[in-house]
Chains A and B, each alone.
Chain A
Amino acid sequence: MRLIPREVETLWTLFTGPVVWALHFLACYAAAAIYCAKASEAPFSFDALRLSLFAITVVALVAILAAAWLSWRQWGFGSGDPPHDAPTRHDRLLFQGFATLLLSGLSFIAVIFVSVPLLFIEVCAR
């Protein structure tokens, strides 16, 4: 019994990275917007909100790294060169792994970019 399946043969894993990125984006923007709209009645400080969003960012990055590792494995840890365009089942698998890996990289960077304001914005704007 394996915790992680040996092989992933579905197109859905392709979207793991971008989905994590989208959820992280929503979490950051919705949390900050709701907090600042209700700042006067919130029971915790803006710094607490920043810290929890920072924690969410770390979770998102770890999730993307996990997705990246899975796709790297699916790609055979770089054993073959792209473009993987032969009409075979094996090449489709490698192509999907490679595409997922690239998308994971993009999502990783995007999550970091989205979190930059967490570092610098210290108060709610009016």
Chain B
Amino acid sequence: MVPGELGFVRHLALGLRRSISESLEGRTQGEAPTILRYLLPFTALILVGCGGQQSALDPSGEESEAVYRLFIVMVIGGVAIWLGVSALYIYAARHRQTSWPPAQASALIGWGGVAFPVVVLLALLGYAVWLMPVVRPWNSLAGTDGAIEVTGEQFWWRIRYPGVNGNPAFETANEIRLPVGQPATFSLDATDVIHSFWIPALGGKMDMIPGRTNFLTLTPKRTGIYRAPCAEFCGTSHAYMAFSVVVMEQEDFEVWRRRQISGHERSADQGWELMLRHGCLGCHSLRGEKIGGATAPDLTLIGARHSIGAGTLANTAENIARFIRSPVSVKPGAKMPAFDMLPQREIDDMARYLGGLK
């Protein structure tokens, strides 16, 4: 399938949005029919939701393209049948009122009520099952050391990249980076409750179940930044549990991997001294400075991530400070204690330091 073909819902949405904004600004010639003028903005509102960084209708990976294809085929099939049944209904309700001869009626029931649904359902079922190995490639990488381990915890994602080609393994959190065009296998687990791993732009979802390891393979086809929400209700901050996925060129990915392994360059900084003094390293780790605790998200190069608090806030020094001061006010149920007893100046110093780790 041609990639350009796949994004047609998105193009439709963008085109509609453009034409609507033009008509709202009075740039188009002539008057649109009244009903269209009222209906169009709503259609646009719905369709605009189809694009963007967290949409299965704007696929950027092989598996999500298969899901999208399946969705389109099912929708078209469903709409065709719905139209047919509606037409029959209208015909039966208002056309001629005489009854059909029994033989003809039996034929209609036999062909329309038995043969047709059986054939259509068999075709749709066959198509869906045929597509299954594409949607869920049972990759040979699964179960080997090549899988990226992702563990769902309330309410963040522990991510461990395996050691490859002599490079050591390393841990990070809440952001996954992948090289474009390479199949990536994830081994999925959870520590507390059931979470679900879902990158809508790249593929279908897979549950993360405590005590069981699930595998999922995704092959990104376009570089970009995508958002991946937790797809199984997991507690009060379920809605604030997401991660970002950055699909990069192979060379950029290698550079990032090396940076992650070595961590940032050590330098004397007031913020670092404060983090050490206030015990942040009891739970967090900062490669390059100090491997501390591992109960909380790894903070190595946190300044380069696309969000703070697992997809909750934009990555700015102010937001980091806000999180340190009172994590629960940002993420209800978060396990990190509040540090609002510290002077604001010290919190700001730590936030500035962390935000600068890129």
Contact = CB atoms under 8 A, between A and B. Distances in A.
Interface of A: 81, 105, 109, 112-113, 116-117, 119-126
A123 B138 contact: yes
Given A109-B118, A120-B130, A125 B138 contact: yes
Contacts of A125: 136, 138
B129 A117 contact: yes
Contact of B133 (A81, A105, A121, A126): A121
A124 B133 CA distance: 10
B133 A120 contact: yes
A122 B121 CA distance: 22
Interface string B117-139: 01001100110011011001010
Q: How large is the interface on B (under 10, 10 to 19, 20 to 34, 35 or more residues)?
A: 10 to 19
A109 B119 CA distance: 10
A126 B138 contact: yes
A116 B136 contact: no
Contacts of A105: 114
Contact of A113 (B114, B125, B132, B215): B125
A119 to B, nearest CB: 8
B357 interface: no
B118 A116 contact: no
B143 interface: yes
Contacts of A119: 126, 129
B30 to A, nearest CB: 53
A16 to B, nearest CB: 20
B122 A116 contact: yes
Interface in B114-167: 114, 118, 121-122, 125-126, 129-130, 132-133, 136, 138, 142-143
